[in-house]
Structure 1
């Protein structure tokens, strides 16, 4: 771990840059040090140049790099052969004749130490310390005519050598360097070739590199990646509109600086930008094995389209990565996810646009203590002369036998005698569950009993199914000490505020429908007592018109997700969605990223119990990826 004291740079105690370098940061050193992190793992500078900040920090662990081979050779020699280098430098003279003789040497025939000595010599004696090469890669800066340049600064070379010995020195492209070496907690300083203060089309060659607009944009993408990884980043550049555009999300400060290498004195002032990127506290969510509370076993299992019964551990594994007290389940369906959160002692707000789903939530989520007694059950099953016979007459010979239809009408009439709203919800839920269990495949899209496979659920009378359902739902009722709420209504209008918002909407796919009403119209009508629905009397199944939903089209689903993410942007978002549905995974990630600073997706193998259109998706037998999109702020 590197630790620095945020004090002014003390030149007497620190090695200084070995070279005078175009764009060197000696004059900004106090600013850079005051913005550097107090602690970091290792230091990385992939555009090392003169290395002013590197030498000031003297990090214990560091990687320095540059694409300039002569520069990297110099630092390598200073690290490993400083004595030999000093000896050569002491022999070199500051004369025009020696300068041009040394400048004209063929570096390909020189040793590493000789090349390093040449680099320092030319830098100290050439005009303004400028590094510039011609098209052949040959150094072409003229003699500087300085009276007494310090060609061999022995104390500084030895001090620099101490730091460089413990440093990894690499030649290469900055992206390759960062990809290989950058890790969470590292401190990365980026001092790329600057943007000129002119139109983008006026980019000029800067030292040996070209950094055009596209290069600057690539660099900004790399900064975003480093921030997501959890790195500390400082970046310097010129005060150019494009720099503000690229780094507007980060802290930017502007500083007056001097341009020593410009031959025009009027242009030797400028404004440098410092971009400070705090590491984003990356939370990598990896589903891990979890065990659910024993109470979860009491939830009455059912075959319900889109039920997340088999995904509960995955959902809890993701949710448990966060600290939270409350959950909003926007599309509660069977209420199994709401119930799972309730067993974890969270306050649960449950919502669904289907009345029977909301009834389940009323009975087992909002209800903390009320159960049906044996006397209540006897009363509910007792003949009632006031029963209206609606089910018996309307659905004769469609789904159930005459006896079962009569029983449904009896219980419908008797439920109204229960004064307690939660007992009524338990009774209605038990009746709905009995109808689902008694019905082959648990749906009402067909009539008759052609899917009767002789299993026990189909052999029991509906009254027997009802009594069993009451027992199961009674067992599911428990008090988690929270004021839980169940709501029946449009998810787009929910006003509940919660720490986590779980979204499991109808999945839109052009390959199959997501009409819950078409599958469950009978039990939906049962809970609503067929009030406020538009019956389609001409249909064989005697269904009613489906509710309007934005999730019936691709555009509608996209717009609905966008609206939901925007409305609940203050909460942690967890979204269940399928790999064969639209919007696509990439679209969902982009949508969520509009409102959350960090988005992850966890993929889970899943087989749906429903989805008889599965053969249309490449004969996948309903085997798809279930996505859990997670959006949160750091």
Structure 2
């Protein structure tokens, strides 16, 4: 070996803590059982991290429930030189040891705390980290002659490695629910069975891990397996371990314990449980290249729009053979339009009038566009308009000039003889109104949230002309007879080979009232016919439409009804991780009617948060689920 190779070998990181229950002895065995390919590595019972440093994954999430331990790793990752400076001053001395042990952590800086944790761990008896009921460290001095207190090269190597990973403090289930995705590799090293007075040593905390906790862990492993994760679990050779994991590969290995006072009990047996992901019958969830026609869809900011998830949705759907699609909750129509670009016959439906209007314009319509003479007629001032918008919504959403223009176009749309041209014109007018409004919604009055973007500087007429051009360019013929419906999805009696379901998401954190956000353009599309304006409200909204997705219970029943009605179709359902019913409940419902059920989780951030006053923390970062039943 050359000198350069020796230096490189010495620079490889290894655990910075002596750890009761550490995996140094099992590292080679674990490495041999790790998947050759995986997404990211997740270790929620991190402890000393021996396997992590042996594996050296390129992408990782490491976590632990103990805040002191996680604080240590975060500090080493970000400020290792100051930690080293502190460790250099700490002697292997009994009096100093007890003096430092008695110091309260909260009185120290982050780097002093990190150094204290490392020092006590390296010099205490057997490397234990036991705390009493008050959370105070109470392990005696170890009387080692030359303990390694400050390994500078290794600390720097560990710092460099930790700086590249995500470090989280939290309960293992929470960590896994928030981070685990199909294809990931999860290593679980929980406190061992049987539960004893030593169980808390492993966790660096006074909290214990009881038999019921191990049963819950077994249930979580089933979820991870079905999600598509590779899982390795370590534990003691205990009867409950064999009971809980009988269906998986369980291997027993002799190991040596270092924390038993009785030398006869220091020889033990560990098990490694290997859990392979549930085989998927088809590959799903990978981004794909879309048709060039998709780039012409007239997108705008719309609550719940799947514009940014189109690739994912098609990557799932494209694994099936099907000719027709029913989009029950079309919304912005972007999913319906996507299926149209893929040559499918599309049946598009929405209970909102303006949404159905857009679907008729760009999904059902294969060839009609607005010509120059149509545009001239729509924008001409005939003087016959009713001033309804100008008088009813004065100073609420648009300036007087724009309100008068809206009344003018409303009157001219009624003069158009062809229904499809009325749809094209109304779709353009609705799009112009949404793009002209800051944040694209009508839940507030005035001109707040003006971020200076171009859309807000254009007049409504300029917006309207741009919208006509965009919608005209989106019109194309896919060779199919497509249809757009305006009705209640729960009552629609239409069927297709594939049914896409993207209902309003019920969440206790927010409302899902589309009418409240878009009442103005909904009224515009309906010409305010059949609605009662609530004049007492500042926004002049009207009563929201009834929906079964307004409570968790009724949403559960609605999903059940839809799954039962369309049980002969391929089912794809969009839903959010922060909504109810839960992932498990929807999977359970779908499994009643479909032989195969899978879920794809996608990290996602909505345009609209649940608490608008919290700009940087508004609960809009979630996982979007695609449930697939076939």
* 1:467-510 CA distance string (max 9 Å, x none): 00000000000000000000001000111110100000000001
Q: Point out the more displaced range, 487-496 or 580-589.
A: 487-496
User: Shift of residue 451 of structure 1?
Assistant: 1.4
Alignment CA distance shift 1:286-1:438 (3 Å): same
Q: Secondary structure at the match of 1:350?
A: strand
Whether the aligned pair in 2 keeps the contact of 1:614 and 1:622 (CA below 8 Å) is no
Structure 2 counterpart of 1:340, from 335, 338, 343: 338
Contact kept in structure 2, 1:557 and 1:583, CA below 8 Å? yes
Distance in 2 between the 1:548 and 1:525 partners?
16
Distance (whole Å) between structure 1 residues aligned to residue 598 and residue 555 of structure 2: 20
The 3 A distance-change label for structure 1 pair 615 and 400 is closer
Match of 1:321 in 2: 319
Q: 1:349 to 1:434 in 2, by over 3 A?
A: same
1:388 to 377, 386, 389: 386
Select the residue among 580, 598, 603 that pairs with 1:600: 598
| Equivalence for 2:369 | 371
Q: Give distance in 2, aligned partners of 1:352 and 1:342.
A: 17
Structure-2 change in CA distance of 1:281 and 1:326 (3 Å): farther
**8 Å CA contact retained: 2:506, 2:551:** yes
How far is 1:454 from its partner? Answer: 2.1
> Is the Cα contact below 8 Å between 1:382 and 1:410 reproduced in 2?
yes
Find the residue that maps to 1:486 and give its secondary structure: strand
Deviation at 1:620, TM superposition (A): 6.3
Aligned to 2:465: 467
Contact 2:611 2:618 in 1 (8 A): no
**How many Å apart are 1:558 and its aligned residue?**
0.4
CA contact (8 A) 1:389 1:406 kept: yes
**Alignment correspondent of 2:490:** 492
Paired residue for 1:270?
none
Q: Which residue of 2 is the match for residue 144 of structure 1?
A: none
- Distance (Å, rounded) in 1 between the aligned partners of 2:462 and 2:610: 29
Give the CA deviation at 1:594: 0.7
Equivalent in 399, 411, 414 of residue 413 of structure 1: 411
Report the equivalent of 2:448.
450
**Which shifted more, 582-591 or 619-628?**
619-628
What residue in structure 2 maps to residue 522 of structure 1? 520
For residues 618 and 466 of structure 1, what CA distance do their matches in structure 2 show?
33
Contact 1:285-1:600 at 8 Å conserved across structures: no
Structure 1 residue 616 displacement after superposition: 8.5
How many pairs align?
Answer: 358
Matched residue SS, 2:490 = helix
Match of 2:559 in 1: 561
The structural deviation recorded for 1:618 is: 11
The one of 292, 295, 298 aligned to 1:294:
292
* Match in the other structure for 1:198: none
After TM superposition, the score normalised by the length of structure 1 is 0.55
- 1:403 and 1:386 mapped to 2: Cα distance? 16
Q: State the Cα deviation string for residues 276-305 of structure 1 (Å, max 9, x = none).
A: xxxx99624422231000000000121000
Would you say the 8 A contact 2:509–2:610 is kept in 1?
no
Question: How much has 1:418 moved relative to structure 2?
Answer: 1.3
Q: 1:609 & 1:517 partners in 2: Cα distance?
A: 17
> Retained in 2: the 8 A contact 1:615–1:622?
no
Residues in 2 aligned to 1:520 and 1:499: alpha-carbon distance in whole angstroms: 32
Please report how far the alpha carbon of residue 440 of structure 1 lies from its aligned counterpart in structure 2 after TM superposition.
Answer: 0.8
Which structure's CA Rg is the greater one? 1
1:615/1:621 contact within 8 Å kept: no
Structure 2 Cα separation of the partners of residues 476 and 583 of structure 1: 36
Q: Secondary structure at the match of 1:416?
A: helix
CA contact (8 A) 1:351 1:487 kept: yes
CA distance in 2, matches of 1:294, 1:470: 20
Secondary structure at 1:628's aligned position in 2? strand
Cα distance in structure 2, aligned partners of 1:374 and 1:386:
22
Please state whether the residue corresponding to 1:491 is helix, strand or coil. coil
**1:621 CA displacement:** 4.6
Where 1:493 maps in the other structure, the secondary structure is coil
The 2-side partners of 1:524 and 1:404 are apart by 18
CA distance in structure 2 between the aligned counterparts of 1:348 and 1:416, rounded to whole angstroms: 28
Describe the shift of the 1:603–1:620 C-alpha distance in structure 2 as closer, same or farther (beyond 3 A): farther
Q: Secondary structure at the match of 2:415?
A: coil
- Deviation, 1:613, is 2.4
Match in the other structure for 2:611: 613
For residue 400 of structure 1, what is the aligned residue in structure 2?
A: 398
Q: CA deviation at 1:612?
A: 3.7
Is the partner of 1:487 in helix, strand or coil?
strand
3-state SS of the aligned residue for 1:576?
A: strand
Note the C-alpha offset of 1:614.
7.4
- Partner of residue 577, structure 1: 575
* Alignment TM-score, normalising by the size of structure 2: 0.55
- What are the superposed Cα offsets for residues 511-552 of structure 1, whole Å, 9 maximum, x if unpaired? 100000000000000000000112111101000000010101
Q: Give structure 1 stretches of 5+ with no counterpart.
A: 1-220, 230-279
- Residue-by-residue CA offset, 1:564-593 (whole Å, 9 max, x unaligned): 001111100000000000000000000001
- Give, in angstroms, the shift of residue 610 of structure 1: 1.2
> 1: distance between equivalents of 2:613 and 2:585?
25
Q: In the alignment, is the contact (CA less than 8 A) between 2:329 and 2:501 conserved in 1?
A: yes
**Deviation of the 1:404 alpha carbon:** 0.4
Residues 1:505 and 1:616: Cα distance change in structure 2 (over 3 Å): farther
Matched with 2:540 is 542
Provide closer, same or farther for how the CA distance between residues 386 and 547 of structure 1 changes in structure 2, counting only shifts above 3 A: same
Gaps of 5+ in 2: 1-218, 228-277
Tell me what 1:5 maps to: none
Give secondary structure in 2 for the equivalent of 1:291: coil
Runs of 4+ displaced beyond 2 Å: 611-621
Cα pair distance change 1:447/1:616, threshold 3 Å: closer
Instruction: Give RMSD over aligned pairs.
Output: 2.2
Mapped partners of 1:450, 1:361: distance in 2:
30
CA distance in 1, matches of 2:318, 2:414: 41
**Which residue is equivalent to 1:511?**
509
SS at match of 1:573: strand
